[in-house]
Structure 1
Amino acid sequence: MENVQLIATDMDHTLLTEKGELPPQIGDYIDALATVGVQFTIASGRPIYTLQTLFAEHKDQLAFICDNGGAVYLRGKNVYKSLIPTTDYRRMLRFTERADGGHPLICGLDAAYIPKADHRFVPVYKTFYTNVKEVDDLSTVSAEADKFTIYFPENNSEDQYNQVYAPQFGNAYSVVVSGPDWVDIMNSGVNKGQGMRRLGAVLGVTTDQMMAFGDTFNDAEMLQTVKYGYRVANANPGIYPYAKYVTGSNDDYGVLQVLDKVLAAKRQ
């Protein structure tokens, strides 16, 4: 572990507890890793504006892989973005409106756009998208967007992925299950693993010098990309094959358990 220079962690059900809380001492770990030359990174399906709010005190020293790799930021600077053409996310919108059970969000770099008819879901959405804009007609939105996502209040995202969205969009786009109630669509080739490679290219860090933590399907490519890929103990069993290592659950601060080992190795 003494060679690790870049560490990334997923947020929901990985770094965050089941109550949606950060480990109380995470700031100390970010500072400690920086002193030994390790770039700590948040790799999430969430957008940059939400993540920077959550990590307000450290946002200028962190890296962020946002929207499942749709945008990458390093110490306050955008180093990569993959925007979905407006015509494409409008086509996804029309399809979602015809399909059953899903509620669409256009994930702009500045805000998540939703139809006013879905106002009742705003409390759920704001957990992930702190800037939600309600519009009369979602098909009129023309924003810089790096992700299109569908919310399933019945928690059947895996079925929707397998039966509806992967067959429809999987050949031309990156389509992933991001949780029991979310399916995300990005441009082809966009995922957290590719985000790690792009960040590594900027930093001069190889995949053999990378570590990552995750719990579900949108973490799979990231866990495969890095040398030290960890799933938390509470991870979805579907990602077990993608992670070489396992650590404690999110509620047991499993990420921090491994960070302790990295810091010990670095200080020897």
Structure 2
Amino acid sequence: MKYVKLVVSDMDGTLLNSNHEVSQRFFNLFKKMQSLNIKFVAASGRPYYSITEKLHPITKDIIIVAENGGLVIENKEVLLSNNIHSDKLNKLYNLVSNIKDVYPIFCTKHLAYFLNTPLEIVNTFSEYYSINKTISSLKEIEDDVIKIALYHSKNSESFIYPHVKHLGSEFNVVVSGNHWVDISESITDKGNALSFLQNRYNIKPSETMVFGDFNNDLEMLKLSKYSYAMANAHKDVKATANFETDTNDNFGVEKVIELLIAESSQD
């Protein structure tokens, strides 16, 4: 572990506990990583502004991969941005707006657009998309769409994915949580974002540590020698990762980072 130069963590179900909080224990560990010149990347399906809210004490000192790799930002500088081509949006809109009991969110850099969403669902979404606007048509979207997030209150794999999996030949379609499926351009995923950063900073997979819990983390886990599935992770994540750590509610990420710091601090 002592050669690790880059630590990458998913947010929900991984770095965040079940109350959607980052622990003070992690913030203390971050200072130690920083003193050892270890870069930290927060990689999430969440929008950029939501990640900065959760990690506000350290956002100037980390790299943020938002919208499942659709945006890569370091200290407010956009390093990478992949938008869904505007000529494809009509096709996607017509499909996702007609799936029963599924609520689409059109995600842009600064704002999330909720389509025909009742208030109780809006309140649920606001944890992830705090800057939002409810719309009734595609014409009301005024910015480039990076990702379309689809929500079902019961289960995403059963009630959303069967309706959109055929899009996989043209788009990146991924089950990103128990209630979520995300659609973005085919080149957009956390693995592509991580590969970009590894090339930018000349960091090898053997010098990279990654934590994840759901299928939108699979591509980035494959780019790391020190890949960790959370104990609460999806079975596909556990099958892909090289190691397993404790749950997100029992400091699974923090426990491994403590081992990393201990080894990296040795002469």
Q: CA deviation at 1:162?
A: 4.3
Q: CA deviation at 1:252?
A: 0.9
Cα distance in 2 for partners of 1:27, 1:256 equals 10
Cα distance in 1 for partners of 2:103, 2:170 equals 21
Which of 128-137 and 257-266 deviates more? 128-137
| Length-normalised TM-score, structure 2 | 0.95
For 1:118, the aligned partner's letter is P
Alpha-carbon spacing, 1:143–1:90, altered in 2? closer, same or farther (3 Å): farther
In the alignment, structure 1 residue 228 sits paired with structure 2 residue 226: yes
Cα distance in 1 for partners of 2:263, 2:231 equals 23
CA contact (8 A) 1:125 1:132 kept: no
Cα distance in 1 for partners of 2:102, 2:71 equals 24
Aligned to 1:81: 81
Aligned to 2:254: 256
Q: How does 1:35-46 map to 2 (within 5 A)?
A: 35-46=35-46
Q: CA deviation at 1:212?
A: 0.4
For 1:114, the aligned partner's letter is F
Alpha-carbon displacement from aligned partner over 1:193-241 (angstroms, at most 9, x marks no partner): 1111111222221222111000111111111111111001111123221
Q: Which runs of 5+ in 1 are unaligned?
A: none
Cα distance in 2 for partners of 1:201, 1:10 equals 20
Q: What RMSD over aligned residues (CA atoms) do the two structures have, in Å?
A: 1.4
Cα distance in 1 for partners of 2:236, 2:158 equals 13
Q: CA deviation at 1:139?
A: 4.2
In the alignment, structure 1 residue 55 sits paired with structure 2 residue 65: no
Aligned to 1:11: 11
Cα distance in 2 for partners of 1:162, 1:103 equals 13
CA contact (8 A) 2:102 2:160 kept: no
Q: CA deviation at 1:142?
A: 3.5
Give aligned-pair identity as a percent. 27
SS in 2 for 1:84: coil
Q: CA deviation at 1:107?
A: 0.3
In the alignment, structure 1 residue 125 sits paired with structure 2 residue 125: yes
Aligned to 2:143: 143
Q: CA deviation at 1:166?
A: 1.0
Count of equivalent residues: 266
For 2:31, the aligned partner's letter is D
For 2:242, the aligned partner's letter is K
Q: CA deviation at 1:116?
A: 4.5
Q: CA deviation at 1:56?
A: 1.4
SS in 2 for 1:25: helix
| Length-normalised TM-score, structure 1 | 0.95
Q: CA deviation at 1:136?
A: 3.5
In the alignment, structure 1 residue 238 sits paired with structure 2 residue 236: yes
SS in 2 for 1:80: strand
Q: CA deviation at 1:144?
A: 1.6
CA contact (8 A) 1:89 1:106 kept: no
Alpha-carbon displacement from aligned partner over 1:145-171 (angstroms, at most 9, x marks no partner): 2111111112x211245421112x110
Runs of 4+ in 1 over 4 A off after TM superposition: none
Cα distance in 2 for partners of 1:79, 1:162 equals 30
Q: Which runs of 5+ in 2 are unaligned?
A: none
Q: How does 1:174-193 map to 2 (within 5 A)?
A: 174-193=172-191
In the alignment, structure 1 residue 99 sits paired with structure 2 residue 99: yes
Alpha-carbon spacing, 1:161–1:171, altered in 2? closer, same or farther (3 Å): farther
CA contact (8 A) 1:93 1:139 kept: no
CA contact (8 A) 1:86 1:142 kept: no
